[in-house]
Amino acid sequence: MRPEDFSVGSPGRVQKVIGSGFSYWAFIPDPLPPKLNYVDNLVAALGEANRAMGEFSGLLAGSPGAKLLIRPLLRKEAVSSSQIEGTTSEITDLYLFEAADETSGLPEDVREVSNYLKALEYGLDRIKFLPVSTRLFRELHAVLMKGVRGGHAYAGELRTTQNWIGKPGCTLNEADFVPPPPEELNGCLSDLEVFINSESRIPPLVKLALVHYQFEAIHPFVDGNGRVGRLLIALLKTSWGMLDQPGLYLSGYFEANRQEYYSRLRSVSFEGEWNSWVLFFIEAVLEQANFAKCKLREMMNLRNDWIQRVRSISSSLPMTLIDHLFENPILTIPQASEKLDVTYVSARRAIQSLCKNGILTPLDGSKYAKKYIASELMPIIK
């Protein structure tokens, strides 16, 4: 990375770092907010995205069991965000992980996805009591990196060494981008905290796009910065009251448009192309809001169909278990017993009733299967 790579519109400064026998250039972003040009296409896209978000929120408000129905969307976010970083696990792998009786011998990729889900759930609970701050960033990172590659000795800790972004094996001087040196982190993060928690006339979606860029430009951790940055999008939408309930996530769009995602972020740092990045971000919100509405309607219709199938059963347990399937569509009899708070025998009968009505299927095809799957639900949530 060289100073001449940056245009005069770059929203930061390039600083030379000199050490014992080495030197390199690092980028230190200016505090937010930048000056934005609200051109017509940006204003129009913002209006469409806000309208789509409102429709999604209204659909959630009118849906019975909405909190359960959005659980698959949360898991889809965990999978997509992790795939951006190179994992190959699918949502079925995550559900199989959660249905497993043991955690040994499971793929590293699945552990990373599971940790992302835990960090997201943890953050949604923490923002009820804790402002979005460096403390929360570190707590999220600690959950995210626990027991996975890159997490040894650094989970929850701001970096004390220089990191960089570039091709595998490249040096600092060959890097595509070098974020602030460690001694600049506290100042950069403090400025970001102030912006996040201050009142502003900036439209919330635009502010969210600015925050995501800034966090990625600061890159405060040795590893896991992309995932923590995308976690913050979900948490801030809830913290700022943009949605009554969580359920709208952007990683699916970022993963499907990965190269453009990285290119738009990079163009802000090097050329000050804020409008292109913000427009891309808003388009992601619009696309994912429409996607989430479609998926939510499909799940609502399936849930209603399942309820009709078991309505004549005398026991209420199959009906109760149906809602749990939207959280975990792959489960075992012991897990059903725990969820329903009944004996093993009663849980087995409930599962058998759902099998007879085509709602559950033995995963291995045998009569005495260890795992059962809601096979009609899986195509909707993949």
Q: What is the tens place of the pLDDT at every residue in 339-353?
A: 999 999 999 999 999
Q: Residue 152 pLDDT > 70, yes or no?
A: no
Taking the chain, what is the end-to-end CA distance rounded to the nearest angstrom? 39
For residue 66, the model assigns a pLDDT of 73
- CB under 8 Å, gap of 24 or more: what pairs does 359-362 form? 359/306, 359/309, 359/310, 359/318, 359/322, 359/325, 360/325
Query: How far, in Å, CA of 151 to CA of 131, rounded?
Result: 25
Query: How far, in Å, CA of 342 to CA of 218, rounded?
Result: 50
| Residues 45 and 146 grouped into a single domain | yes
Q: Give the residue, 235 or 70, on which the prediction is more confident.
A: 235
What is the maximum alpha-carbon separation in the chain?
Answer: 79
Rg of the chain in Å (alpha carbons): 23
| Residues 275 and 357 grouped into a single domain | no
| Residues 131 and 257 grouped into a single domain | yes
Q: Give the residue, 227 or 153, on which the prediction is more confident.
A: 227
Give the domain range for residue 114: 3-295
| Residues 281 and 320 grouped into a single domain | no
Average pLDDT of span 44-72: 86
CATH number, position 375: 1.10.10.10
Average pLDDT of span 359-381: 85
- Work out how many domains the chain is built from and give that number: 2
| Residues 195 and 274 grouped into a single domain | yes
| Residues 284 and 318 grouped into a single domain | no
- pLDDT-based confidence at residue 85 (cuts at 50, 70, 90): confident
- The pTM of this model reads 0.92
Query: How far, in Å, CA of 156 to CA of 144, rounded?
Result: 9
> CB–CB of 116/81 below 8 Å?
yes
Q: Residue 160 pLDDT > 60, yes or no?
A: yes
Q: Residue 150 pLDDT > 70, yes or no?
A: no
Q: Can you name the residues that pair with 14 across neighbouring β-strands? A: 27
Residues 174-193: tens digit of each pLDDT: 999 999 999 999 999 999 99
Average pLDDT of span 132-136: 96
| Residues 248 and 112 grouped into a single domain | yes
CATH number, position 134: 1.10.3290.10
In a domain, 301, yes or no: no
In a domain, 16, yes or no: yes
| Residues 79 and 170 grouped into a single domain | yes
| Residues 273 and 335 grouped into a single domain | no
In a domain, 52, yes or no: yes
Tally DSSP H helices, then E strands, for the chain.
16, 5
| Residues 42 and 128 grouped into a single domain | yes
Q: Indicate the residue among 240, 270, 295 that finishes a domain.
A: 295
Q: Indicate the residue among 267, 295, 323 that finishes a domain.
A: 295
Q: Residue 105 pLDDT > 70, yes or no?
A: no
- pLDDT-based confidence at residue 59 (cuts at 50, 70, 90): confident
| Residues 124 and 87 grouped into a single domain | yes
Q: Residue 92 pLDDT > 60, yes or no?
A: yes
For residue 349, the model assigns a pLDDT of 95
Q: Which residue has the tokens 């409930």?
A: 350
In a domain, 303, yes or no: no
In a domain, 55, yes or no: yes
Structure tokens at 76: 């889809």
In a domain, 305, yes or no: no
